[in-house]
Amino acid sequence: MPMISVCVFCGSRTGGDPAYVADARTLGAELAGRGWRLVYGAGDVGLMGAVAHAAQDAGGDTFGVIPRHLVDWEVGKTDLTRYIVTETMHERKKVMFMNCDAVVLLPGGAGSLDELFEVLTWRQLALHAKPVVIVNTNGYWDPLLDVLRHVVDQGFADASLLEYFTVVADAPAALRSIEGAIKG
């Protein structure tokens, strides 16, 4: 079986709850422990840096993609297994998504939401069927999940939208969910 690659969307900041960093580190270490590749935004700060450092420390394969204008801001992590600099954010998302088998969303901000909504939209349009897992660390994504249900309840999306992702409580559950979806 070829290596499984997991795209992780997450914050370039650490947030206010130490559990966010703990989940990012656990995710990176467990990806490496399973022999899976981390695909992410190539930043060396925030949760991005935490997940990448943990994957590297555990001997994992890392694939980072960063747009040129963020190399300094997000401190491009150049010591990855593979480091790609794109011209635009759109290219970054495309390269990340094309090089993964599944997506995991950790806590993050507007950029993480943008990435999530793009892959959910692509799924709605039947452009992919990759597993998408939302890690709801300490209920961080509860308001987002309420909004998504509201969108469906108000008739702006079919109820199938809520079937395009799985919500789990922590990083280990995310990996078990992906394993079940890929091997299932």
Residue type at 45 in one-letter notation:
V
62: which strand partners? 38
**Domain limits at 99?**
5-183
CA-wise closest residue to 73 among 13, 122, 127, 153? 13
Express each pLDDT in 150-171 by its tens digit.
999 999 999 999 999 999 999 9
For the chain, how many structural domains are there in total?
1
In sequence order, what DSSP letters do the residues of 68-128 get, joined into one string? Answer: GGGTTTTTB-TTSSEEEEESSHHHHHHHHHHT-SEEEE-S--HHHHHHHHHHHHHHHTTS-
pLDDT band, very low/low/confident/very high, at 179 (cuts 50, 70, 90):
very high
The CATH number assigned to the domain holding 60 equals: 3.40.50.450
Mean pLDDT, the chain, as a whole number? 96
In sequence order, what DSSP letters do the residues of 156-182 get, joined into one string? Answer: SS-GGGGGS-EEESSHHHHHHHHHHHH
- The two structure tokens encoding residue 152: 């469906």
**pLDDT at residue number 183:** 80
CA-wise closest residue to 42 among 96, 5, 91, 83? 83
Express each pLDDT in 32-41 by its tens digit.
999 999 999 9
Q: Is the pLDDT of residue 1 over 70?
A: no
pLDDT band, very low/low/confident/very high, at 72 (cuts 50, 70, 90):
confident
pTM above 0.85, yes or no: yes
Mean pLDDT of 123-149: 97
